[in-house]
Amino acid sequence: MDEAIIAYIRRVHNLLIGESTAERIKKEIGSACPPADGEGRKMEIRGRDLMNGVPKEIVVTERQIAEALAEPVGQIIEGVKVALEHTAPELAADIVDKGIVLTGGGALLTNLDFVLRHATGLAVTLADDPLSCVALGTGHALEERKTLRNVLIGSY
């Protein structure tokens, strides 16, 4: 996502920004879809003007960043659809009943749950602690190796 933002800012504004600026943009005004009303939130950013090499400040909008993120968000949607197509029937039934839970840092992208809900027709929720729940779940799985082994072997 950060690379997509960097490429967009470079292409549209002829401005070179770094990874930390792209990360800050994603966290502050990043969205998986354009805002329903107007340009949405705005943010001032600084970078190097590629036309003359001097520092420059511009304002970017939530709508622009949603446009920048359209491709990576589309890849996430396609990945989810492929995963659902290859899901065992028993697990698919659980997903229909309980929905999809978003985890990890990407889950914090504004409106990602809305976009996935619209694309899949399933309930989509954000984990209580998306940044650490994957690590905590992996730790629990490692503590229960025998159970995990049976689950994994049983799925083939």
Question: pLDDT digit string (tens) for 7-40?
Answer: 999 999 999 999 999 999 999 999 999 999 899 9
Paired strand residues for 100 = 124
Domain map (residue ranges) of the chain: 2-68, 73-154
List own/partner pairs for 19-27 with CB under 8 A and 24 or more apart.
Answer: 21/45, 21/46, 21/47, 25/60, 25/65, 26/1, 26/2, 26/65, 26/69, 26/109, 27/108
The C-alpha R_g of the chain, in whole angstroms, comes to 19
Give the SS3 label for residue 37: coil
* CATH number for region 73-154: 3.30.420.40
Which segments within 53-95 are labelled E, that is strand? 55-61
Residue 72 one-letter amino acid:
P
Task: Tell me whether strands 100-102 and 124-126 are parallel, antiparallel or unpaired.
Answer: parallel
Q: Tell me what pLDDT residue 153 has.
A: 63
Res 148: pLDDT: 64
List, for the chain, all residue ranges whose pLDDT scores fall below the cut of 70.
Answer: 146-156
Q: In the chain, helix, strand, coil percent, each to 5?
A: 60, 15, 25
Q: Which of 79, 87, 81, 76 is nearest to 122 (CA)?
A: 81
CATH 3.30.420.40 fits 2-68, yes or no: no
Distance CA 43, CA 21 (A): 11
CA distance linking residue 130 with residue 140, whole number of Å: 16
Please name which of 105, 93, 99 lies closest in space to residue 125, comparing C-alpha atoms: 99
